[in-house]
């Protein structure tokens, strides 16, 4: 997801700068799903979903 945001510069003026958010989905060696959220290529949050948590998430999403 891309969006622009104003950020102050050293001179005190604000300028538009792009921000890029990424979501990586992978598996580890233990049959867990790994979700990694990154901003500008740097991972900021990493969630590991075990099979039990994955089933709970799917049930919750199906009820919404």
Per-residue confidence (pLDDT) for residue 19, from 0 to 100? 65
Give pLDDT, residue 17.
Answer: 63
Q: Which residue ranges make up each domain of the chain?
A: 23-63
Q: Which residues contact 33 (CB under 8 A, 6 or more apart)?
A: 25, 26, 27, 48, 49, 54
Binned average pLDDT, 10 residues per bin, the chain of 64 residues: 60 66 88 86 85 92 88
Would you state the pLDDT for residue 9? Answer: 67
Residue-level pLDDT at 3: 53
């Amino acid at each position: 997801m891309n969006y622009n945001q104003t950020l102050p510069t050293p001179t005190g003026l604000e300028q538009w700068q792009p921000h890029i958010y990424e979501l990586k989905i992978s598996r580890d060696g233990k049959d867990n799903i790994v979700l990694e959220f990154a901003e500008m290529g740097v991972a900021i949050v990493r969630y590991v979903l075990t099979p039990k948590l994955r089933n709970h998430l799917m049930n919750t999403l199906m009820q919404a």
